[in-house]
A and B are shown apart, each in its own frame.
Chain A
Amino acid sequence: MKIMTCPLNGPRPVSEFFYWGELRPMPNPATASDDAWADYVFNRNGAPGLKKEWWCHTPSNTWFIAERDTEKDVVLKTYFYEGDQ
């Protein structure tokens, strides 16, 4: 993967983008137990697979979601975040 498609700016070199990890639903900090909160803060789905991830096109500060195969390094699609589906 050397080119990534920004939903706003179109295809750009991957060096212009910043990776911010997998999209993960946050438990309510007011009601979550300590264990559930620790699980959210620290634990990750580290196994390879198809993942929805946060990426940012840094020159334009555009945040969006990329669906990427983390074993083959292939981006399947990119789109703006529209709330947790």
Chain B
Amino acid sequence: MPWRLLRFALNKKHPEPRMFTFHEKLKPSYDVVIIGGGGHGLSAAYYLAREHGITNVCVLEKGYIGGGNTGRNTTIIRSNYLTPEGVQFYDESVRLWQDLSEDFDLNLFYANRGHFTLAHTDSALRTMRWRAEVNKHYGVASEVVGPEVVKEAAPMIDITCAGHSPILGALYHAPGSVARHDAVAWGYGRGADQRGVEIHQQTEVLGIDVEGGKVKGVRTSKGYISTGKVLCAVAGSTPRILKMVDVKSPIYIHPLQAMVSEPVKPWLDPILVSGSLHVYISQSARGELVMGASLDPYELHGTRSTLDFVEGLTSHMLEMFPFLSNVKVMRQWAGMADMTPDFAPVMGKTPVDGFYLDSGWGTWGFKATPVCGKTMAHTIATDTAHPLITGFSLDRFRNYALTGEKGAASVGH
């Protein structure tokens, strides 16, 4: 290390600034308490402070910031969904993503790569034409392309997939991107922190007091907080929190696993997804191949990972990219996905006054981080659901009015 650099590092005049302020104690009351210090919770805190001037807010996080599904997803951002509600919502999110790095003054490594959803059957191709038409109608760049375009974008691919499930075409979505997921949580967290929001890590919610159908306060492992508004943004822990306020929901928890390979030289620019083979793959800025498959087949409230998953995923991956047989798997992990019957989220107000929900984000939550924060902040500040999320309310199930979002990730269709 150059001597001058070391002298600079040891100089007390240039301390390395912390991302967040450390708060010793909780205040006795806040205007809004946000449960969950992941991307969604911190983003809501950020927009509450920035757009609505509500800064007497605390974010409670059981573990550490971004340690849940924010840090466990495969960082894919896209908006080529199937329902009008979904397309409009995710399109707003993609637009927010595009200038987030400047907004935060933090490099999110947002990389526009293009996104191919591969079709191996006629029926898959038909669904893709439908998706493309819905997307185009709402001004989202999306088109069906032939196998030759896939081959050109990813020359290493075996277009026949080992001969038994040839690629017939693909849905191409040019705005498809990847971003560094931890940085998203940190960026929102720092932005909220600078505007006066308190972030309390290692603080677990033990109970929520409800009186006369209204939220009164939150019991935590670091003391009691009285508040009239609580946002629950806890992904896989949502059913546990809903039990505290006695609200029923269709949300069920299955683990979703992912893995990365050792870093290799850049060879794969676009993001590739195959619903039939249950694989998706992209190459990170560090050269690792980030890979995922479909949900684990049964309910589980834990983040264990399995060898079955690696075996299943790699066998399909080798059908697409035979040359990867020499590449080692470096790491695997799991997150708890909060699934809904119609693959759309559950957002907005609940039967309990002052208790707001941002949940049901299953396997599709990361890409929605900015727009969730923005719409939930609006919902909390005005106590009225934001127009973009009215299709995602909890009472759609009681009214038999489901959204049917088959464009979600890791969903076979």
Contacts and interface: CB of A to CB of B under 8 A. Distances in A.
B321 to A, nearest CB: 24
B403 to A, nearest CB: 13
Chain A binding surface SS class: mixed
A46 B251 contact: yes
B249 to A, nearest CB: 6
B304 interface: yes
Given A44-B251, A46-B253, A71 B302 contact: yes
Is the interface on chain B under 10, 10 to 19, 20 to 34, or 35 or more residues? 20 to 34
A15 interface: yes
Contact of B252 (A15, A46, A71): A46
A70 B301 CA distance: 6
B239 A70 contact: no
Interface in B40-58: none
Contacts, number: 56
Contacts of A73: 300, 302, 304
A21 to B, nearest CB: 8
Interface in A56-85: 70-73
Given A35-B398, A47-B240, A42 B301 contact: no
Interface of A: 15, 18-19, 21, 34-35, 38-39, 42-48, 51, 53, 70-73
Given A46-B252, A47-B239, 18 more contacts: A18-B297, A21-B299, A34-B400, A35-B398, A38-B397, A38-B398, A38-B399, A39-B248, A42-B397, A43-B249, A43-B250, A45-B239, A46-B239, A47-B240, A51-B299, A53-B298, A73-B300, A73-B302
Interface of B: 238-240, 242-243, 248-253, 297-302, 304, 308, 338, 341, 397-400
